[in-house]
Structure 1
């Protein structure tokens, strides 16, 4: 079981010999051996670089399935949403952010920024409501006996 650098060197070797299919297979083994967020992101970017948008999307989707409960999942969700933004699929990106918010409440800042860039007034208001809901729930967890929780 090589370390990450060993896998990446093997991939570079195959690419120097124009064996993209071999490099793709090695990436599949790499993420199985090292199921880390950065490994999955690197694999998805590799697919995108080779013009395989559908394959890249599949890699991001598999990564979400594998890593949704990982403590580094926020980075995975952001990378996936940004990929969809680059592909001019703002509706897909919006869905990813909304799905991610169920797993990672701190992601709302990125979601609000996304809505300000791509959304309409209703989308921005929805994002702000989500933010306030998380603030309210967080305050409730911190002080469950406080009956006068206010949002700012």
Structure 2
């Protein structure tokens, strides 16, 4: 028996199916709106909410988010005493939570409770002195209230913990805003005593220069050079100080001073990349403010540095040794032709001999196998 498959008499389209599904879909659940008509109902509503919050924080005591929602809800009801009580409870749970302290102080400030907010910041920075965010907020609050002595007091407490450079700079900028430049200079001095790094010395000198105290800027840089000149490694770190010193003197058109700084640096810096960069700066300086003799001396010094680098990499490259010897001999001839003192001539002869002696010391051993 054969079965016949025929299309249905009534055809249903996809559009009809989707439309019926949309019509029959259950409505989305929404929380019913509550209307409070009198204080008694309001108290009942608050009581129910408190019970809910208490139950939630009891179940998840370590969940800071639940505690903060509870405390902020109490503050939204103008129940600040209750809100403080909740915040103190959460501090018992985690007293080192930065989020809790920030929310707590923010609640007090929104309610214009300035003194309680100050007290909270005092507690927070005493407990978490390494958290810069709390110090910044505390300083901002004091300055917002125009309590400048209070700002200084907070900064002084903060600086005792030797914070990052940004904190020191914030302290200095605060004093600059109120034109207390002598105080700012004293802060630089404290900063140097905590972190005697070349960049800090340079910042201090630039500050003194910008306010027109060039003598003080020179004193700062000279002190920095004296601080770093004891050991070879320390001198190498001081390249930025040499550069800043020379640039400042050049700007002041005291051309003999930067020349002396460059020469001192090139004589004392070890043969490293730092010296090459400083030598290049010295050459540029002489090109701009040159005399013939100083320019020639600069070029000779630069070529000596290049030769020293090459022979340090390959001590048996005799072509370089001959070039170095020819350089020193040419310098000697130039001095004799132009007339010079006996001391300078003897010093130049000594350099020629030194080059030859160093070159001879690099002679290959006689028993070395040749190919």
Q: Paired residue for 1:126?
A: 297
Residue 83 of structure 1 is aligned with which of 224, 241, 248? 248
Structure 2 matches for 1:85-124, cutoff 5 A?
A: 85-102=250-267, 103=269, 104-106=274-276, 107-124=278-295
d(CA) in 2 for partners of 1:30, 1:14: 14
Unmatched 5+ stretches in structure 1: none
d(CA) in 1 for partners of 2:255, 2:192: 27
| Helix, strand or coil at the partner of 1:35 | coil
Cα root mean square deviation, aligned: 1.8
Unmatched 5+ stretches in structure 2: 1-161, 325-371
Answering whether residue 196 of structure 2 is matched by residue 35 of structure 1, we say: yes
Higher radius of gyration, 1 or 2: 2
d(CA) in 2 for partners of 1:3, 1:65: 25
How far off is 1:18 after superposition?
A: 2.4
How far off is 1:16 after superposition?
A: 2.1
Residues 52-90 of structure 1: CA deviation (Å, up to 9, x unaligned): 110001111112222352544222211110000011111
**How many pairs are equivalent?**
152
Please report the TM-score for the alignment, with normalisation by the length of structure 2.
0.39
Residue 26 of structure 1 is aligned with which of 174, 180, 187? 187
Please report the TM-score for the alignment, with normalisation by the length of structure 1.
0.91
Larger relative contact order (C-alpha < 8 A, sep ≥ 6)? 1
